[in-house]
Amino acid sequence: MITELGHFALILAFLVACVQTVVPLVGAHRRWSGGMAIAEPAATLHFLLVALSFAALTQAFVTSDFSLRLVVLNSHSAKPMLYKISGVWGNHEGSMLLWALILSLFGAMAAWFGGNLPPTLRARVLAVQGSISVAFLSFIILTSNPFLRVSPPPFDGRDLNPLLQDPGLAFHPPFLYLGYVGLSICFSFAVAALIEGRIDAAWGRWVRPWTLAAWMFLTIGIGLGSWWAYYELGWGGFWFWDPVENASFMPWLLAAALLHSAIVVEKREALKSWTILLAILAFGFSLMGTFIVRSGLLTSVHAFANDPERGVYILFILVFFTGGALTLFAARSSVMEARGVFSLVSRESAIIANNVLLAVSCFVVFIGTMWPMFAEMFFDRTLSVGPPFFNLAFTPFMVVLGLILPFGSMLPWKRARAGHVLPRLVPLVVIAVLVMGLVWTFQTGRSLLGPVGVFLGAWLIGGAVTDLWSRTGRSRDLRRLLRLPRADWGKSVAHSGLGITMLAIAGLMAWEQEDIRVVQPGQPYAVGGWQLELIGVSREKGPNYLSTIGEVSLSKNGSEIARLFPEKRIYPVAEMPTTEAAIDYRFLRDIYVVIGDAQANGGWVVRTYIKPLASWIWGGALLMALGAALSLSDRRYRVAAGAARMQTKRVPAE
């Protein structure tokens, strides 16, 4: 009964989304207040209905209702409760319902917190958001119905993909979707502004909180996915340039560019057309990510489905919304005339450079991701584009971006003199160069990658600190720092997080050590100054898996530091093995041990990695997300944006 109720709620949500799309658009076009007023209750009801449908599906997984086909394919009665719940979105149909839920949530939030928007703009934003829901709800109902029954129901299910039975992967998709789908509201604001003929400083202020929220959740989601891949897959890496990893990274880059360009629209009423274009493309790349994951077009370890028919449906959604928005963008070019003027040396110019670097970086990742498909389609050649291409083509843009950020963030708006800013950065340059030289001295004979990463990290972190310190004035009154807007603190924290992540990635890639050997129990061996010894291997039974567990003693200079227990699991129902790495986490390094197969001579294959600064990668990502959260909590985002409205050129909506 609850399953049928969830299915009915999903269909009803589709009908409400249709009303949310059509009636407010007509009302805004005719200036009919009654029609525009329908948008808010429709958005709220739409969200509640999708939430009811999602709750019904969750209840089926929690209670192991094996009369539901989706539960049979992705759950098992012996599975721990956390993974029964995460099994709801650990598959194609459930993940699309989660997508629809978050999409409706952002629409409802725009209705709840958009009271200060002009009525016509609010109605159009909610209508555009509703139209996206119409597309995805129709996709779910027609091609990906999660409420299909099986008859007769089996005694038990086939279990969830063992790789997804992990806490990191339980929380990774919801955060990633909050970022992916959060960009839809930025898209809705852009399209509504184009229809409205109103793009001004107030619009820039309205769209920034939504961009911040989406970018923050994307950062958390990507960080969680990277951490999961690091400790779960047993490869010892944090990023593999997999097509699905790239699919989430591309909108992250464009959202970062949008976040900065919206500031220029708000402060100076410049970069209007560029900011609108970024809002369209950022969500367009989110849709492209959905297409890549579910179409089977590109090979990926993360792919949910390989169904070309469903892929074509998502491709149609991508082309319709992105193509339609770009067509409207071209038709409305007259309303995006920039007002603010600025000199070559100014914060505006620095943000333009920032945007160009981020956009070109996204384009590089896009080419590398899609080129194998293009080569096969147009040249009948099978090619593989791997990490060497991305590392070589992508890294220079990030290096230049890191060099620009501290300088650009300290420049004043409109017109600046480099001579006023450079003296404040000279001590920072000296310190960063000295640190780089010190690292270079200690790592004699190795590549320049590590020292350059250390320089960039010190430069970015020092730049953020210098920027804050400059706010204390000539009197160095530290109380001024406490009175700074949270957005200023958020900017410094986020830039510091980027510096830490850059430093950590460069250090790990430059100084990592790897050892693979067959180890006999009781026979010590050395890796990078540490001594390891395989004490023994045991076999145990878990809730829904069989585990082979190694016990490894880690010591240095004769003193034991830790006992590590790497595992190799077999899930009998899914007939799939997984690797559980054992990691000794320390501030400056990780020691990472993976146990492999038994050998005929009684030994075991053991892989050992020494990974310097590994934890700093996710610490930096966490700081970036924290910086976004600090900025989002700024009071200026909670007060009426209408107070900052400025007279702008309007064109008739007709």
Count of Cβ atoms closer than 10 Å to residue 651 Cβ: 11
With the CA atoms of 434, 435, 436 and 442 taken in that order, what torsion angle do they form, in degrees rounded to the nearest 10? 110
Q: Are 651 and 197 in contact (CB under 8 A)?
A: yes
pLDDT at 148 over 50: yes
Among candidate residues 144, 272, 264, 286, the one with its CA nearest the CA of residue 199: 272
CA angle, residues 650, 651, 654, in degrees to nearest 5 = 140
434 backbone dihedrals φ, ψ, rounded to 5°: -60, -45
In the chain, what's the furthest Cα-to-Cα distance? 83
pLDDT at position 28, please? Answer: 94
Question: Using CA atoms, how far apart are residues 438 and 357, in angstroms rounded to an integer?
Answer: 30
Question: Using CA atoms, how far apart are residues 10 and 17, in angstroms rounded to an integer?
Answer: 10
Q: Are 290 and 249 in contact (CB under 8 A)?
A: no
pLDDT at position 637, please? Answer: 67
> DSSP H helical segments within 75-200, as ranges?
81-86, 92-113, 119-143, 167-196
pLDDT at 498 over 80: yes
pLDDT band at 508 (very low <50, low <70, confident <90, very high): very high
pLDDT at position 445, please? Answer: 63
Mean pLDDT of the chain: 88
Q: What is the pLDDT of residues 443-461, one digit of tens each?
A: 766 778 889 999 999 999 9
Q: Are 2 and 61 in contact (CB under 8 A)?
A: no
pLDDT at position 338, please? Answer: 67
Question: Using CA atoms, how far apart are residues 106 and 441, in angstroms rounded to an integer?
Answer: 52
Among candidate residues 350, 220, 199, 225, the one with its CA nearest the CA of residue 280: 199
Count of all residues that appear for the chain in the document? 654
pLDDT at position 381, please? Answer: 80
pLDDT at 54 over 80: yes
pLDDT at 639 over 70: no
Q: Are 28 and 36 in contact (CB under 8 A)?
A: yes
Question: CA torsion sign, 324 to 325 to 330 to 333?
Answer: positive
Global pTM exceeds 0.85: yes
Question: Using CA atoms, how far apart are residues 233 and 231, in angstroms rounded to an integer?
Answer: 6
pLDDT at 640 over 80: no
Helix (H, G, I), strand (E, B) or coil at 589: strand
Tell me how far CA of residue 510 lies from CA of 77, 303, 446, in angstroms: 46, 31, 8
pLDDT at position 653, please? Answer: 39
Q: What is the pLDDT of residues 361-405, one digit of tens each?
A: 999 999 998 888 888 777 778 777 888 899 999 999 999 999 999
Q: Determine which of 123-127, 537-541, 631-635 has the lowest per-residue pLDDT on average.
A: 631-635
pLDDT at position 646, please? Answer: 38
Pairing of strands 559-564, 567-571: unpaired
pLDDT at 20 over 80: yes
Query: Which comes out higher in pLDDT, residue 338 or 167?
Result: 167
Look up residue 366 and give its two tokens.
């896009």
pLDDT at 473 over 80: no
What pairs with residue 549 in β-bridges?
A: 538, 567
pLDDT at position 463, please? Answer: 92
> DSSP H helical segments within 380-537, as ranges?
387-410, 418-442, 449-470, 479-482, 486-511
What mean pLDDT do residues 11-21 have? 97
Q: What is the pLDDT of residues 409-439, one digit of tens each?
A: 888 888 877 777 888 888 888 999 998 888 8
pLDDT at 158 over 90: no
Question: Using CA atoms, how far apart are residues 35 and 120, in angstroms rounded to an integer?
Answer: 10
pLDDT at position 307, please? Answer: 63
Count of Cβ atoms closer than 10 Å to residue 477 Cβ: 12
Question: Using CA atoms, how far apart are residues 393 and 396, in angstroms rounded to an integer?
Answer: 7
Question: Using CA atoms, how far apart are residues 506 and 90, in angstroms rounded to an integer?
Answer: 33
Q: Are 248 and 221 in contact (CB under 8 A)?
A: yes
pLDDT band at 334 (very low <50, low <70, confident <90, very high): confident
What mean pLDDT do residues 266-277 have? 89
Look up residue 563 and give its two tokens.
């006992």
Q: What is the pLDDT of residues 523-581, one digit of tens each?
A: 999 998 899 999 999 999 888 889 999 999 999 988 999 999 999 999 887 778 888 89
pLDDT at 192 over 50: yes
pLDDT band at 289 (very low <50, low <70, confident <90, very high): confident
Tell me the domain boundaries of the chain: 1-165, 514-614
pLDDT band at 296 (very low <50, low <70, confident <90, very high): low
pLDDT band at 624 (very low <50, low <70, confident <90, very high): very high
Stated as kind and residue range, the H or E segment containing 578 is: strand 576-580
Count of Cβ atoms closer than 10 Å to residue 578 Cβ: 21
Among candidate residues 283, 116, 84, the one with its CA nearest the CA of residue 183: 283
Q: What is the pLDDT of residues 219-244, one digit of tens each?
A: 999 999 999 889 887 777 888 898 88
Helix (H, G, I), strand (E, B) or coil at 544: coil
